[in-house]
């Protein structure tokens, strides 16, 4: 709690006098509808330290989260974001850097203040599923991305009484979950009904992204209603009397993503999540998500699943501090069970959890599946090596190419890229293997080791399992590509583009290695930054290596 108080005080110290006064006003009048205000008498003639003590005394472990929300209430969004990240950092255990797992993006907080973690599926489980029920599941694609996701959140409306307090928490949680599952997220906020329609339509036209993907998500969170027996999402300009036509009908999403309008997603799962009211019937006690007062060759609509936060004609609810129950249950269940359950089982777990959730009134919450046309089982989590290592480094490389900072047609550049990338992949794979070997699977105890007992000293030992294979019985490059095509229906690159060794002597090569190691003694720094989307160190190191190689070769 001492650390929490210090972080709270540091944040309040950044407020000017008028902002601090506004902050106190929100505390005494209620940060949110379900948060008990602090009596005005306790907040008279107090300094920042007194306010922190007062908040901790009244709100205990929730004081930090309430501080973040109060900062958002006074439009200090950047400060609120930084404070929230600091709270997360202090809750993560300190680890030996040599044995730390691959860095990941900050994870969302649960309502109890604990960090969420995505449980990874075992390689044995994935292989077993492919072998035993391969024809009954949607097979993962071999492309560099799992898929694209569209995330639309309406928070601020023209009419302030419609504003959705706490919706930014849902947006943050959903964004984290989708990225943790391997999706690239297109995020949009505060849209009219017409703009929502345009964004979903544009998203359906992302042909390269959808063509190379294996699935997609569309998540829409806003106020909602039932209009002429159709589910409607309300735009930010909506008003029951002044502008009742600012809506987007949910069924349009199916039209935009069907086989006619989005052929790139044919035979691929399309998951639609809707957090919105569907009517006025009771359903909770917090902030309510309703307004106060074809083709002849393919099925036109196939491989869809739509999961909505409430039953028809029923309201949906959101907590101003923790976000909506629906989104929180989805994130919790997916984090704990997506490694071994397909998506329909996950949705069943969410429904079961919400059905048994204790309620303080007659209002009850129950989500609902709509227009489901999945023909196979859809598993979300597959091999982590690509997501954690290979694709991250490839993304760093693509950034350099896009910025025209390197020329991949140059032999020396290709040689240097291959050299550095292989070293970083070696490091990343070692970490993933070590993390896997140390992972205890519930009900199964310790997982089978992927490597020999002694510590790996070369790339070969990292990737070898207990059985050793002679290189003479392994397929050559062409045979491997053919086998890959036959097994997964997609192709590998058949021609090597590593680049030829440009050095004429071992002395030249040793000189470059020595000079490079003086500049970059620990290449783990490059990997750690790259996986957290900071590509600058990788760029500088690669350009240094190319420059040195050009000079001495």
Please determine, for residue 87, whether its predicted confidence score (pLDDT) is greater than 70: yes
Which residue range forms the structural domain that includes residue 335? Answer: 123-370
d(CA 541, CA 461): 27
**Domains in the chain, number:** 3
Give residue-wise pLDDT tens across range 393-449.
777 777 777 777 888 888 888 888 888 888 887 787 777 666 655 544 444 334 444
Lateral strand order in the sheet of 183-189: 183-189, 147-153, 215-221, 270-275, 304-308, 368-370
d(CA 407, CA 414): 8
Whether residue 283 is found in the same domain as residue 167 = yes
- Six-digit token pair at 501? 């060794």
- Six-digit token pair at 221? 């969170």
- Indicate the residue among 305, 336, 370 that finishes a domain: 370
Please determine, for residue 374, whether its predicted confidence score (pLDDT) is greater than 50: yes
Please determine, for residue 529, whether its predicted confidence score (pLDDT) is greater than 80: yes
Residue 294 lies in a domain: yes
Whether residue 85 is found in the same domain as residue 154 = no
- Grade residue 358 by pLDDT with cuts at 50, 70 and 90: low
Determine which helix (DSSP H) or strand (DSSP E) holds 395, and give its type and residue range. Answer: helix 391-402
Residue 118 lies in a domain: no
Mean pLDDT on 72-78: 85
Give residue-wise pLDDT tens across range 23-38.
998 898 888 877 888 9
Confidence at residue 234, expressed as pLDDT on a 0 to 100 scale: 94
d(CA 386, CA 185): 18
Please determine, for residue 492, whether its predicted confidence score (pLDDT) is greater than 50: no
Whether residue 156 is found in the same domain as residue 200 = yes
- Six-digit token pair at 519? 């500049």
Whether residue 43 is found in the same domain as residue 140 = no
Residue that is written with structure tokens 């936060």 in the block: 309
Please determine, for residue 104, whether its predicted confidence score (pLDDT) is greater than 60: no
d(CA 480, CA 483): 5
Residue 377 lies in a domain: no
CB-based contacts of 262: which residues, under 8 Å, 6+ apart?
Answer: 204, 205, 210, 256
Please determine, for residue 454, whether its predicted confidence score (pLDDT) is greater than 70: no
Residue 402 lies in a domain: yes
Confidence at residue 339, expressed as pLDDT on a 0 to 100 scale: 72
Give residue-wise pLDDT tens across range 109-143.
444 444 456 666 665 666 666 666 666 777 765 43
Q: Which DSSP symbol is given to 75?
A: T
Confidence at residue 474, expressed as pLDDT on a 0 to 100 scale: 46
Q: In whole angstroms, what separates CA 224 from the centre of its chain?
A: 25
pTM of the model: 0.49
Which of 375, 367, 352 is CA-nearest to residue 304? 375
Whether residue 184 is found in the same domain as residue 236 = yes
Whether residue 292 is found in the same domain as residue 437 = no
Give residue-wise pLDDT tens across range 274-306.
988 765 544 443 444 544 444 345 566 778 888
Residue that is written with structure tokens 């919400």 in the block: 354
d(CA 501, CA 548): 14
Confidence at residue 161, expressed as pLDDT on a 0 to 100 scale: 84
Whether residue 183 is found in the same domain as residue 57 = no
Q: What is the CATH number of the domain that holds 77?
A: 1.10.533.10
Determine which helix (DSSP H) or strand (DSSP E) holds 465, and give its type and residue range. Answer: none
Which of 274, 281, 227, 236 is CA-nearest to residue 254? 274
Residue 375 lies in a domain: no
Whether residue 341 is found in the same domain as residue 415 = no
Angle in degrees, CA 116, 117, 120, rounded to 5: 155
Q: What is the CATH number of the domain that holds 337?
A: 3.40.50.1460
- What is the chain's Cα-based Rg? 26
Q: In whole angstroms, what separates CA 220 from the centre of its chain?
A: 16
Whether residue 351 is found in the same domain as residue 391 = no
d(CA 452, CA 459): 12
Confidence at residue 280, expressed as pLDDT on a 0 to 100 scale: 56
Confidence at residue 113, expressed as pLDDT on a 0 to 100 scale: 40
- Grade residue 469 by pLDDT with cuts at 50, 70 and 90: very low
Residue 366 lies in a domain: yes
CB-based contacts of 69: which residues, under 8 Å, 6+ apart?
Answer: 31, 32, 35, 80, 166, 320, 321
What Cα–Cα distance (Å) separates residue 57 from each residue in 37, 42, 44, 394?
Answer: 13, 11, 16, 50
Task: Report yes or no: 85 and 106 within 8 Å, Cβ to Cβ.
Answer: yes
Q: What is the mean pLDDT of the chain?
A: 75
Q: How far apart are the first and last CA of the chain?
A: 59
- In three-state form (DSSP H/G/I as H, E/B as E, the rest C), the secondary structure along 19-71 is HHHHHHHHHHHCCCCCCCCCCHHHHCCCCHHHHHHHHHHHHHHHHHHHHHHHH
Whether residue 163 is found in the same domain as residue 85 = no
Whether residue 55 is found in the same domain as residue 136 = no
Give residue-wise pLDDT tens across range 211-227.
878 889 999 999 988 88
- Of the two residues 280 and 505, the one the predictor is more confident about is 505
DSSP string over 403-460: TT-S-TTSHHHHHHHHHHHHHHHHHHHHHHHHHHHTPEETTTEEPPPSS-SSPP-SHH
d(CA 340, CA 119): 9
Residue 107 lies in a domain: no
Whether residue 173 is found in the same domain as residue 281 = yes
Residue 297 lies in a domain: yes
Active site residues: 223, 277
Q: Which DSSP symbol is given to 326?
A: H
d(CA 115, CA 136): 34
């Amino acid at each position: 709690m001492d650390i929490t108080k210090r972080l709270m005080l540091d944040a309040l110290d950044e407020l000017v006098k008028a902002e601090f006064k506004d902050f106190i006003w929100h505390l005494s009048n209620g940060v949110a509808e379900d948060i008990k205000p602090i009596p005005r008498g306790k907040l008279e003639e107090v300094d920042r330290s007194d306010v922190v003590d007062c908040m901790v005394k009244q709100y205990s472990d929730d004081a930090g989260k309430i501080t973040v929300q109060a900062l958002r209430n006074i439009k200090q969004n950047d400060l609120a974001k930084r404070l929230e990240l600091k709270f997360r950092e202090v809750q993560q255990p300190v680890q030996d850097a040599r044995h730390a797992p691959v860095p990941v993006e900050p994870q969302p907080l649960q309502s109890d203040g604990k960090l969420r973690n995505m449980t990874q599926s075992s390689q044995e489980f994935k292989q077993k599923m492919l072998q035993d029920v391969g024809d009954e599941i949607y097979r993962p694609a071999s492309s560099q991305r799992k898929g694209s996701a569209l995330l639309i959140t309406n928070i601020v409306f023209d009419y302030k009484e419609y504003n959705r307090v706490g919706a930014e928490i849902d947006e943050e949680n959903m964004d984290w979950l989708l990225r943790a599952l391997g999706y690239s997220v297109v995020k949009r906020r505060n849209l009219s009904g017409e703009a929502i329609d345009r964004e979903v339509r544009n998203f359906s036209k992302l042909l390269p992204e959808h063509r190379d993907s294996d699935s997609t998500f569309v998540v829409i969170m806003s106020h909602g209603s039932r209009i002429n027996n159709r589910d409607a999402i309300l735009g930010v300009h909506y008003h029951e009397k002044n502008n009742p036509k600012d809506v987007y009908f949910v069924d349009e999403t199916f039209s935009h993503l069907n086989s006619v309008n989005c052929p790139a997603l044919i035979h691929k799962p399309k998951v639609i999540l809707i957090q919105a009211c569907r009517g006025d019937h009771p359903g909770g006690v917090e902030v309510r998500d309703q307004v106060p007062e074809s083709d002849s060759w393919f099925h036109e609509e196939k491989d869809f699943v739509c999961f909505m936060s409430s039953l028809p004609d029923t309201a949906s609810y959101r907590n101003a501090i923790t976000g909506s129950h629906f989104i929180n249950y989805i994130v919790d269940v997916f984090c704990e069970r997506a490694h071994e359950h397909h998506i329909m089982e996950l949705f069943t777990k969410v429904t079961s959890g919400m059905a048994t959730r204790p309620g303080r009134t007659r209002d009850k919450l129950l989500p609902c599946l709509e227009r489901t046309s999945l023909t196979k089982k859809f598993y979300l989590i597959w091999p982590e090596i690509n997501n954690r290592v290979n694709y991250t480094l490839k993304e760093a490389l693509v950034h350099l190419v896009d910025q025209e900072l390197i020329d991949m047609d140059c032999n020396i550049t290709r040689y240097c890229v291959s050299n550095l990338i292989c070293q970083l992949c070696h490091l990343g794979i070692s970490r993933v293997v070590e993390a896997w070997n140390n992972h205890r699977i519930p009900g199964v105890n310790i997982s089978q080791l992927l490597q020999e007992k002694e510590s790996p000293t070369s790339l070969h030992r990292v990737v070898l399992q207990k059985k050793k294979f002679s290189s003479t019985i392994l397929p050559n490059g062409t045979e491997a590509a053919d086998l890959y095509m036959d097994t997964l229906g997609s192709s590998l690159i058949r021609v090597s583009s590593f680049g030829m060794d440009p050095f004429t002597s071992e002395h030249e090569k040793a000189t470059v290695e020595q000079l490079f190691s003086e500049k970059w003694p620990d290449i783990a720094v490059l990997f750690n930054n790259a996986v957290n989307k900071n590509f600058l160190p990788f760029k500088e190191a690669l350009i240094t290596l190319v420059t040195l190689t050009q000079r001495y070769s």
